Amino acid sequence: MNALVRSAGFLTSVQDLGRTGYRQSGVSVGGALDSFALRVANALVGNEDGAAGLEATLGTLRLRFNDQRVVAWCGGGFTVRIGDGELPPGHAGRVAKDEELVMTAPQTGSRAWLAISGGINVPLVLGSRSTDLRGNFGGHEGRPLHDGDTLPLGDDGGLKTAAPWKNRKIAEWTAPTPWVTTARRDRFLRIVRGPEWNRFTSNAQASLVATAFTVTPDSDRMGARLDGPPLDRTDPGDLLSEAVAPGTLQVPPNGQPILLLGDCQTIGGYPKIAHVITVDLPIAAQLWPGDLVRFHEVPLTEAQELLREREENYARFRVGLSLHTS
């Protein structure tokens, strides 16, 4: 039971929800840059949240399966086809044996997450199947996929032959649109103040929320470097290195902020002016060089309430799916 990678696209890697419990040893969490999109896609195909899937970045991804599978995807404005039919985002689709799935470059956004029933069954490394692209371990041989790679798949528990799939190629049920199409033309990221907020001038604080920043070409899964008005500090002295996390906005001496993403380091010595709230990290995961992004400050209580609401809605979504597929 496996999938043949006929075309690997620009940058495709095996990812799950990341590697937890090793940050004290300097190991990044990693995992899907939009972990919620992968959770939703996994739910649609009957997997556990943490099953490994594929993160595709631009390019064209082509897969062929040697047995029947159920697939689903979420993310940017890609076009995905199974054979001659189109698979919309947030819908599960059934791929027949020897049939090809083709995912082509997006009109908006930059990344998508593909779940396959049974998950991608590469070996666990430090409790995760995610590819650490900087450390060259995990995933498929610790690297992005290449044309001709073969991915082992797990047992899907018979989902592909369950009653709801009889005489149906594409499932009618779906997930909420904001969960499955995460690319935005107006990119607003909500932030809460960081621990060094008061080390920045009032002009810098105002500029952060009043000005659009441009994503620069030297951005990757570790972080999006932003170009805009310099964010000057009132105190230019050195800081002790402290913990950072995906979503942290840190500001190096040149005053140009860096938005840390999933492969970010575990500690950093640059001051942290703000932090993007968890529910907006899916939007951050779609940023690409040349994109404009703006920030909007919200209180911590609002950020917590938005996350609680999303998780409650996701739990209901999971229950609803179980009624469709049982």
Token pair for 173? 């049920």
> What per-residue confidence (pLDDT) applies to 323?
79
Question: What are φ and ψ of residue 81, in 5° steps?
Answer: -125, 140
The pTM is what?
0.94
d(CA 159, CA 68): 10
> What per-residue confidence (pLDDT) applies to 1?
82
d(CA 154, CA 159): 12
Q: What is the DSSP letter of 159?
A: G
Do 259 and 300 lie in one domain? The reply is: yes
H or E segment and range at residue 248: strand 248-250
CATH code where residue 219 lies: 2.40.100.10
> What per-residue confidence (pLDDT) applies to 164?
60
Q: What is the DSSP code string of 112-169?
A: EEEEETT-B-PPPBTTB---BTTTTBSTTTTS---TT-EEEB---TTGGGSGGGTT-S
In a domain, 146, yes or no: yes
Do 177 and 193 lie in one domain? The reply is: no
In a domain, 314, yes or no: no
In a domain, 35, yes or no: yes
Do 139 and 46 lie in one domain? The reply is: yes
pLDDT tens digits for range 6-33: 999 999 999 999 999 988 888 999 999 9
In a domain, 315, yes or no: no
pLDDT tens digits for range 66-80: 999 999 999 999 999
Q: In sequence order, which residues have a C-beta less than 8 Å from that of residue 199 and are 6 or more positions away?
A: 233, 234, 235, 271
pLDDT tens digits for range 202-249: 999 999 999 999 999 999 999 999 999 999 999 877 788 888 999 999
Do 226 and 150 lie in one domain? The reply is: no
Do 11 and 93 lie in one domain? The reply is: yes
In a domain, 171, yes or no: yes
Domain C-terminal end among 127, 162, 182: 182
Split into its structural domains, the chain has a count of 2
Q: For the chain, which residues score pLDDT lower than 50?
A: 161, 163
d(CA 314, CA 179): 10
In a domain, 148, yes or no: yes
Do 97 and 212 lie in one domain? The reply is: no
Q: What is the DSSP letter of 123?
A: P
> What per-residue confidence (pLDDT) applies to 169?
87
Q: What is the DSSP code string of 20-35?
A: -S-GGGT----S-SSH
- Amino acid in the structure at residue 293: V
d(CA 11, CA 24): 29
Do 199 and 125 lie in one domain? The reply is: no
Do 156 and 196 lie in one domain? The reply is: no
Do 172 and 299 lie in one domain? The reply is: no
Do 135 and 174 lie in one domain? The reply is: yes
Within 66-205, strands assigned E span 69-75, 79-82, 85-86, 91-95, 100-104, 111-116, 150-152, 170-174, 188-193
**What residues make up the domain containing 89?**
2-182
Q: What is the DSSP code string of 252-307?
A: -TTS--EEE-TT--SEE-S-EEEEE-GGGHHHHTT--TT-EEEEEE--HHHHHHHH
Domain C-terminal end among 133, 151, 182: 182
Domain C-terminal end among 165, 182, 199: 182
- Amino acid in the structure at residue 299: P
Do 221 and 261 lie in one domain? The reply is: yes
Do 151 and 62 lie in one domain? The reply is: yes
In a domain, 27, yes or no: yes
DSSP, collapsed to helix, strand or coil, labels residue 196 as coil
In a domain, 270, yes or no: yes
